[in-house]
Amino acid sequence: MDKVMRLASEKGVVIFTKSSCCLCYAVNILFQELGVRPMVHEIDQDPEGREMEKALLRLGCTSPVPAVFIGGKLRGSTNEIMSLHLSGSLTQLLKPYQP
């Protein structure tokens, strides 16, 4: 849990992913198209990945990846991010992290 929270607060937008996850890729591309370069951490490439996956579920993620943190706060997985995007709220959350 500590490693997840430390990484989540290192940059304004952090996405925990798995290298083989197509939804993770789609969420990452969405952020890039919105002008934000998120820090992407592939948990399947991390020796502590299993523990990180469990920590993300304990934090409230409906699925462990993609897990999106904005401003150090967990915003959710694909469904939550797409809902924020479709409602126009995601753009507002990302304003401080756009160049």
- Taking only the tens of pLDDT, the chain with its 99 residues reads 899 999 999 999 999 999 999 999 999 999 999 999 999 999 999 999 999 999 999 998 888 899 999 999 999 999 999 999 999 999 999 999 998
State residue 83's pLDDT score.
97
CA proximity to 2, closest of 60, 65, 59, 68: 59
CB 94 within 8 A of CB 31: yes
pTM, two decimal places? 0.94
**Residue 99's pLDDT is what?**
84
What local confidence, expressed as pLDDT, does residue 25 receive? Answer: 96
SS3 42: strand
Amino acid in position 55: A
What's residue 62's pLDDT? 82
Domains within the chain, CATH numbers bracketed: 3-95 (3.40.30.10)
Alpha-carbon gap, residue 18 to 86, rounded angstroms:
24
